[in-house]
Amino acid sequence: MDELTEEIVQGVRAEVEGILQVVTQWAQQGAPGGLEPIEQKIREAFGSVRQRMVRAAIEQVGRGYEGPWQKCQRCGKLGKYVGDRTHTVWTVLGPIRGVGRAYYHGCGCGGGWMPQDQKLGLDAAGHSLVFRQVVSLAGCLGPYEKASETLWEMGRIFTSHTAVEHVTEQEGAQAERWLKGREQKGVLVYYFREPSRRAVNFRRREQATA
């Protein structure tokens, strides 16, 4: 068992032991507050352990360094490794801060890229796919400020209202392109959406035309 695995196992054990102590005391005191304090305790448990597990998964993937030169997926020309860049990876299990990844630049299209981001499915802001899906769903249900509060209350997902707005607008634009593509192919799409914000709050059903 390596050091990181042992650290995670010890963290899980400590969390479980702490919860059991709280449950025992709560039961001995006559269950004050009903199940609410126990539900809250269990829901909030393992937060740091979950984040360490996600960090371990990212570290297993590696920082994305694949030699001094790498081919750009956009233009096909070679880009040069110019150093590492650190950022925060935003997940539904919490933000993973200080993640380092290799950065390549100088290809024909003039852009730069980070192989680790591509492997992990992150957008330019470091948002994971599941994070984008959950945040955009919340963002289309009401004001962005309220959405960020709801995400924290319901799932302990930490994000700002500006991030909710950014993600929802991006996902909404992608949804619109998908819808237009389906319509161009002759597929009837039934959905509800809010055009002014290009929200992703729509219900869609497909039916192939004759």
91-107 per-position pLDDT tens digit: 999 999 999 999 999 88
Same domain, 141 and 204: yes
pLDDT at 188 (0 to 100):
54
Q: Quick one: how far is CA 53 from the chain centroid?
A: 14
Q: Residue 157 falls within a domain, yes or no? A: yes
Range of the domain at 171: 132-208
Whole-model pTM: value is 0.76
> How many CB atoms are located within 10 Å of the residue 126 CB?
19
Report which of residues 173 and 26 the model is more confident about. 26
Q: Are 159 and 148 in contact (CB under 8 A)?
A: yes
Q: Residue 53 falls within a domain, yes or no? A: no
Indicate the number of domains in the chain: 3
Minimum mean pLDDT among 14-23, 71-80, 157-166, 182-191: which range? 182-191
Residue 119 has pLDDT above 80, yes or no: yes
pLDDT at 189 (0 to 100):
54
Q: Residue 93 falls within a domain, yes or no? A: yes
pLDDT at 11 (0 to 100):
80
Same domain, 144 and 203: yes
| Portion of the chain with pLDDT greater than 70, in percent | 87
pLDDT at 184 (0 to 100):
75
pLDDT at 197 (0 to 100):
43
Q: Residue 57 falls within a domain, yes or no? A: no
Mean local confidence (pLDDT), 180-204? 53
Q: Residue 80 falls within a domain, yes or no? A: yes
Q: Which residue has the tokens 């360094």?
A: 65
Residue 205 has pLDDT above 60, yes or no: no
Report which of residues 103 and 189 the model is more confident about. 103
CA 73/CA 117 separation, integer angstroms: 13
Per-residue CA distances from 126 to 101, 131, 178 (Å)? 11, 10, 23
Q: Are 208 and 199 in contact (CB under 8 A)?
A: no
